[in-house]
Structure 1
Amino acid sequence: MKTILKIIGALIVLIILYAVFAMLVFSKDYHFEKSIVINAPKEKVWQYTGSLKGFNTWNPFAKADKNIVVTYSGTSGEVGDSYNWRGNKDVGEGIQTVTAVVPNEKLTSKLHFIKPFEGNATANFIITPEGNGTKVTWTMDNELNAMMKIMKPMMDGQMGKMFDQGLGDLKKNAEQ
C-alpha cells in the first residue's frame, strides 16, 4: 500500500512540476500552420477559402457537431463577412469575422471564442501558386493563458489532426 501511495505522490509531484514549467517556459504566443498543394487553379481554390461560407463547406471544427447552428451576416467574401456558431461541448460557441481580403491570395479573419473557453485568435488562408497547382497555407495565431500553456502539447496534436482533416477535405472539394 505504501508503494502505491509513493507512486501516486510522485505522479502528482511530476504533474505539478510540469504545470509550473509550462507556465514559466512556454511562450504565450501560439502559432500553428499547415499547408497542402491542391491540383486546381487558385481561382477554384479561392471559392472554398475566400469566404466563410466557402470555408464552412470543409471546416473540420464544425463537423464535430451535426446539429451546429450557424448564422451568417455581412457580404460573403468581403471584410465584415462573419458567422456565429453554437454547437455541442466539442464545438462550443463563437464568432468569426473577415478582417482583410486580397482576392485569390489571402483571407484574414478574427475568431472570438465564447464557449467552452473565452479567447481570441487570428486565422489566415494564404494561396500561392505551386507548380501546376495551388498551395494553401492555413494559419492560426493566438495568445495562451496559463492553463492553455499547460495544454499546449495536446493542442498541437489536436490542431494538427483538425487542420489535416480540413485541408484534406478542401483538396477533395477543389479538385472535383
Structure 2
Amino acid sequence: MKTILRILGVIILLIIAYAVIAMLFFSKDYHFERSIVINEPKEKVWQYTGSLKGFNTWDPFSKADKNVVITYSGVTGQVGESYHWKGNDKVGEGEQTVTEVAPNEKLTTKLHFIKPFEGDAKGTFVLTPDGNGTKVTWTMDNELNTMMKIMKPMMDMNMKKMFDEGLGDLKKMSEK
C-alpha cells in the first residue's frame, strides 16, 4: 500500500512540476506546420486552396459534424471572403476570413474561434513548385494563454492528425 501511495505521490509531483514548467517557460507563440507534395501543377491544387469554399471541400475540422452550418460571404478567392460555422461540441463556432491572396501561391486567413473557447489564429497555405508537382505547406499561428501552454503536447498531436488527414484528402482530390 505504501508503495502505491509513493508512486501516486511521485506521479502527482511530476504532473505539477510539468504544469509549472509549461506555464513559466513554454512560449506563448504557437506555430504548427505540415506539408505534402501533390503530383499536380499548383494551378490545379489552387482550386482547392485558393478560397474558403475550396478549402471546405477537404477541411478535416468540419467533418467532425455532418450537420455543421456554414454561411459564406464576400467574393470567392478574394480578400474579405469569409465564412461562419456553427456545429456540435467538437466543431464549435467561429469565423474565418481571407486576409491575403497571391494567386496560385499563397492564401492567408484570420480565424476567430467563438466556441468552445474564444481565440484568434492565423492560417496560411503556401504552394511552391516541387519537381513536376506542388508542395503545399499549411501553417497555423496563434498565442497560447497560460493554461493552453500546459496542453501544447496534446494540441500538437491533435493538429498533426487533423492537418495530415486534411492534406491527404487534398492530395487525393487534386490528383483525380
- 1:79-123 superposed Cα distances (whole Å, 9 cap, x missing partner): 110011111111111100000100111000000011111111000
Hey, what does 1:144 align to over in structure 2? 144
Alpha-carbon distance in 1 for matches of 2:25, 2:133: 40
Query: Matches of residues 112-123 of structure 1 in structure 2 within 5 Å?
Result: 112-123=112-123
Structure 2, unaligned runs of 5 or more: none
Q: How far off is 1:10 after superposition?
A: 2.3
Hey, what does 2:175 align to over in structure 1? 175
Output the TM-score relative to the length of structure 2.
0.97
Hey, what does 1:66 align to over in structure 2? 66
Alpha-carbon distance in 2 for matches of 1:68, 1:7: 45
Hey, what does 1:164 align to over in structure 2? 164
**Which AA in structure 1 matches 2:41?**
P
Q: What SS class does the counterpart of residue 91 from structure 1 fall into? A: coil
Hey, what does 1:10 align to over in structure 2? 10
Q: Which consecutive aligned stretches of 4+ in structure 1 deviate over 4 angstroms post-superposition?
A: none
- Is the counterpart of residue 32 in structure 1 residue 26 in structure 2? no
Alpha-carbon distance in 2 for matches of 1:158, 1:62: 14
Output the TM-score relative to the length of structure 1.
0.97
Q: How far off is 1:26 after superposition?
A: 0.8
Alpha-carbon distance in 1 for matches of 2:127, 2:37: 10
Q: What SS class does the counterpart of residue 121 from structure 1 fall into? A: strand
**Which AA in structure 2 matches 1:27?**
S
Tell me the number of residue pairs that the alignment of Structure 1 and Structure 2 aligns. Answer: 176
Of all paired residues, the percent bearing the same amino acid is 77
- 1:132-152 superposed Cα distances (whole Å, 9 cap, x missing partner): 011110000000111110011
**Which AA in structure 2 matches 1:88?**
N
Structure 1, unaligned runs of 5 or more: none
- 1:4-38 superposed Cα distances (whole Å, 9 cap, x missing partner): 33332322221111100001111110111111111
**Which AA in structure 2 matches 1:89?**
D
Q: What SS class does the counterpart of residue 18 from structure 2 fall into? A: helix
